[in-house]
Structure formats: structure tokens, C-alpha cells
Structure 1
């Protein structure tokens, strides 16, 4: 069998085994993530594996650099990687993804035995204000629309904004004057 045929068969097997498993995630057809432990477990980590073109004859690329693993110390990551490298060497030349995932699950406690979570120092300062917030007057949408339509970018009324009203009123008076003039004549 060629490497590509082996990869296709293993990919099909992984999809069928881990179908519906929230711990397994296929990133691409040649790269995968597997969460070891529960989400709320402080000793949980995500194992990322990628196949090179000649896998399974060459070892997969193993990474623990995901964001989920930021709380794991560099020493613990190195221990996990070295233990996994031993497993890879023992299984080289065969489909090993399932074996690596299950081995990591079974040995999670031993791998994370000396784990001390990395804590990033974040200080939150908040001022407690006892002042009551002033309640702002609420405008309806139509009131806001009328205000926006009448003002320019600076919030000022444009020059001549009321000319239409002047013309309209003037036309009304002109019409009234014309009717009066006709009736008077």
C-alpha cells in the first residue's frame, strides 16, 4: 500500500470511530485535534497532530501550542511531547493516530502529574460608584429621525432649513390675498 492509501484508510477509520465525539476535531484531512480530559479539568490539554506526506512511514507532527494549552508549563509540555515521541517510535510504519489518542487519554494523570497551572497576572480594578445614574430623556425613533434630518454633521441646523415653511406660509397668504382681491373686485 502507498502512504496515501494508508492515510485514506486511517482517516476513514478515525471519522467512524470519533463520529460525534466532541473531543475529536478534524482540522483538515491531514491534521487533527484531540482534547484529553474534560473542558473544566485543569489537567486537560489539546493534542494537535498533522500528517506529513509520507505518514505513516514518517512520524506525525505533534504540537501542544494551541491557545487551550497556554496554562500548561513548558516543562509539562516537553514531558508530554517526549512521551508521545516514544509511542510514535514504537508504532512507526503503522496507523497510529487512534493509538496515540487513546494512550494520551489513558496516561493523562501520569503526563500531568507535575502540572502546575501557569497563571497570568491580571489585576482588575473597579471603582464602585454609589451615585445614581441620571436618567436620560428617551426619544422615539421618529423624533430622532426628525432631529437627524434637520441637522448637519456638526449638529447644527443648516442655513435656510425653514425656507420651505416660509414659502408655504407665504403661498398660503398669497392665495388668501388673491381670493380676497377677486371677491372684492
Structure 2
């Protein structure tokens, strides 16, 4: 008899034996589940058995990973699997699914003797969604914004030995801006009075009033700009 024929016969036997048994569930033609214990029993658990193609000549696959077993510690699950594997070794080569289910039923108290409620990080959301709580996420700290070396150097130049900015640290920049604005206003006023502007700068390309020229230089007006303004003002006087 081939393995497939053995499986077909065992499948028919399981359906006949567990017909009407709410604890038994056929997940597929070669996969089955059985609940050991009633609903509400703190020591109840689910076991899954599936057949490889070569079963029963090879061992079936036994699993305790059902969500129903979420409150059972990994150590208890492993102990149950170890006991069931002992039964598998003793029955290798024969149909054993019924034997394994019945062994678990008969030895439920012994298998779950050391069971204590186990808190898992997996929680149920709604009817059929599972969420896994990330415990490590609560330990994560917000990273502070890192300054570049140039930003740190600029900040150090502006601060004192206590790391504080000195009083009036930005006044120089404000004064520079006000000075440029003032010179612009003076230039606009002088160009509106051509004769006064020509007398101040001179009608030639030289600048007799070096003090006046120095002021315009600080405002950003070089020889080219001043010559242009002078010629424009001079032409207006003609």
C-alpha cells in the first residue's frame, strides 16, 4: 500500500471518528487541528498536525503556533512537542494522528502541569487582525539636531566662555545697514541738486574733498560709480 493510500484511509477514519466533535477541525486533506480542553479552560491548547507526502513512513509535522496558544509560555509548548515526538517515534510507519490527539487529551493535566499565565507582546485588534507591540520603541529617544563643524565654530566665536551671546552682539550689523541707507538718501538728495553735487565732487575726474570721497567709498561707491553720478549731475547743469 502506498503512502497516498494510507493517507486516504486515515483521512476517512478521522472524519468518521471525530464527526460532530467541535474540537476537531480539518484544515485540508493533509492538515488537521484539535483543541485539547474546553473553551474557558485555562489549560486548554490547540495542536496542528500536517502530513508530508511520505507520511506515515516519515513523521508528521506538529505545531503549537496557533494564536489560541498565545498565553502558553514557549517552555510549556516545547515540553508538549517533546512528549508528542516521543509518541511519533514509537508509531513511525503507522497511521498515528488519532493516537497523537488522544494522547494529548489523556495527558492534558500532566502536559500543562507547570503552566502559568504568560503575557505575550502580540495583541488582537478587531476580529481577525494581529498587532505586535514594539517594546523597544518606548525606549527610543528623540535625536537632537546635530550642528556641523562650521556652525559650531561660528557659534563659538559669538558666545562667551559660558556659551551665552554678549549683549549687543548684532549691533554692528545694524549700524552698517543704517549707514548704507543714510548714504543712499544723501546721494539721492545730491543728485536732485546738480550744482551742489558737482561742487562737492568737482567738475574734473579728481576728488578734491578726500573726506567726502572716503564716506562714499565706505558706502560701496567706487570711482566708476562716482564718475557716472558726477557726469550725470554735471550734464544736468548745462
Specify the alignment match of 1:70 in structure 2. Answer: 70
- Per-residue CA deviation, residues 14-51 of structure 1 (Å, 9 max, x unaligned), is 00000010000000010000000011100000000000
CA shift in 2, pair 1:20/1:119, >3 Å? same
CA distance in 1, matches of 2:113, 2:100: 19
Pair 1:114-2:117 in alignment: no
* Count of paired positions: 122
1:42 counterpart residue number? 42
Corresponding residue number in structure 2 for 1:52: 52
Contiguous gaps of at least 5 residues in structure 2? 123-238
SS in 2 for 1:13: helix
Contact 2:70 2:120 in 1 (8 A): no
- In 1, the alpha carbon distance for the partners of 2:101 and 2:57 equals 18
1:20 — aligned with what?
Answer: 20
In proportion to residue count, which structure has more helix?
Answer: 2
Counterpart of 1:7 in structure 2 is 7
2:94 is the counterpart of 1:94: yes
TM-score by length of 2: 0.50
Q: Write the distance in 2 (CA, Å) between the matches of 1:121 and 1:82.
A: 25
Show CA shifts across 1:108-156 (max 9, x none).
000000001213589xxxxxxxxxxxxxxxxxxxxxxxxxxxxxxxxxx
Shift of residue 54 of structure 1? 0.3
Cα RMSD after superposing both structures: 1.3
Could you say what secondary structure the match of 1:116 adopts?
coil
Gaps of 5+ in 1: 123-185
In the TM superposition, what whole-angstrom CA distance separates every residue of 1:77-129 from its partner, at most 9, and x where no partner exists? 0000000000000000000011000000000000000001213589xxxxxxx
Q: What's the TM-score, normalizing by structure 1?
A: 0.64
d(CA) in 2 for partners of 1:4 and 1:32?
A: 16
Structure 1 residue matching 2:14: 3-state secondary structure: helix
- How far apart, in 2, do the equivalents of 1:45 and 1:58 lie? 25
Any idea what SS the aligned residue of 2:32 has? strand
Q: CA deviation at 1:7?
A: 0.1
- In the alignment, the residues of structure 1 paired with residue 50 and residue 120 of structure 2 have an alpha-carbon distance, to the nearest angstrom, of 29
Query: Which entry has the higher C-alpha Rg, 1 or 2?
Result: 2
Higher normalized contact order (CA 8 Å, seq sep 6+, divided by chain length): 1
* Structure 1 residues 43-71: Cα deviation after superposition (integer angstroms, max 9, x where no partner): 00000000000000111000000000000
